[in-house]
Amino acid sequence: MSTNEQPGRGPMRLAPAPVPVDVGIVVAVAMEVAPLLERLKNVRKYAPKGCTIIEGELAGKLVAIVLTGMGRARAQRGAMRLIDGHRPRTLLSAGFAGALDTSLTQHSVLMPTEIANVEGRLFPIEWPETQAIPGGIVRKGRLLTTDAIVLKAADKAALREAHKADLVDMETSAVAAYCAERGVRFVPLRIVSDDANVDLPPEILSIVGDSGSYRIGAAIGAIWRRPSCLKDLLALREQAIESAKKLTNAVISLLPIL
């Protein structure tokens, strides 16, 4: 019996090995790039432990997108999977971020010039002065990575004061650190999903799991306890859909020059 046959099943089709890609994209939650995933061509999926990798063609580039789940540890593992398995020339960390700077408006797309973590480490982001950035993307600001969702406007203000940061997320610093360690070009891209002066519904903490999946039972329980939260959660969903569309457009405009 040949090595690619199984008893009683005939020839076994082996999944093709990952190939080198032009750009790797690290994303926490599929919702953040749902429109982008729909536009991929010649798609192949891989399911290594703890994440999902989707490879395809987009904007003239071969890309591999890893969906990691939320948090620094998951993001770093996803970056490792892409770099070791797909060997991208550039790694892009894309997704939603909360504004800490009150002058930033919802759905603004930023390429931060500096990444920070709560331990105080900084990662400057280089960009060639001669290379223009596509319209709609603003290169500015410091992005801070924390270990929890920041719900309260007062907490956002405290983080801005303590870290001199303009945005906050839960993944980017881990990806920046790993790319620096491995010598891979790193580019961050974030869209403002919530304003600095807005409190998010506390139900988010119980409804959204670390993997990024929604806990249906928790959602039903939250609505039962506070029926008015349904309106808040539906509004957040609509805002997330709009953010995902604009983020997808920004990624597609950026890909040709990465």
Residue 28 lies in a domain: yes
pLDDT at 8: 47
Residue 218 lies in a domain: no
Q: What percent of the chain has pLDDT over 70?
A: 80
236 falls in which pLDDT band (50, 70, 90)?
confident
Residue 116 lies in a domain: yes
Residue 216 lies in a domain: no
Q: Where are the beta strands (DSSP E) in the chain?
A: 5-6, 10-11, 23-27, 41-46, 52-58, 61-67, 90-99, 109-111, 114-117, 122-124, 137-139, 142-145, 167-169, 185-194
Tens of pLDDT along 135-171? Answer: 899 999 999 999 988 989 999 999 999 999 999 999 9
Residue 52 lies in a domain: yes
244 falls in which pLDDT band (50, 70, 90)?
very high
Residue 7 lies in a domain: no
Q: Give me the sign of the Cα torsion angle 241, 147, 212, 256.
A: positive
Tens of pLDDT along 17-37? Answer: 677 899 999 999 998 999 999
Residue 232 lies in a domain: no
Residue span of the structural domain in which 130 resides: 21-198+242-257
pLDDT top residue among 211 and 127: 127
Task: Give the count of domains, the chain.
Answer: 1
pLDDT at 87: 94
Which domain CATH number covers 73? Answer: 3.40.50.1580
Residue 3 lies in a domain: no
pLDDT at 207: 54
Tens of pLDDT along 81-125? Answer: 999 999 999 999 999 999 999 999 999 999 999 999 999 999 999
pLDDT at 2: 39
- The pTM of the full predicted model, rounded to 2 decimals, is 0.85
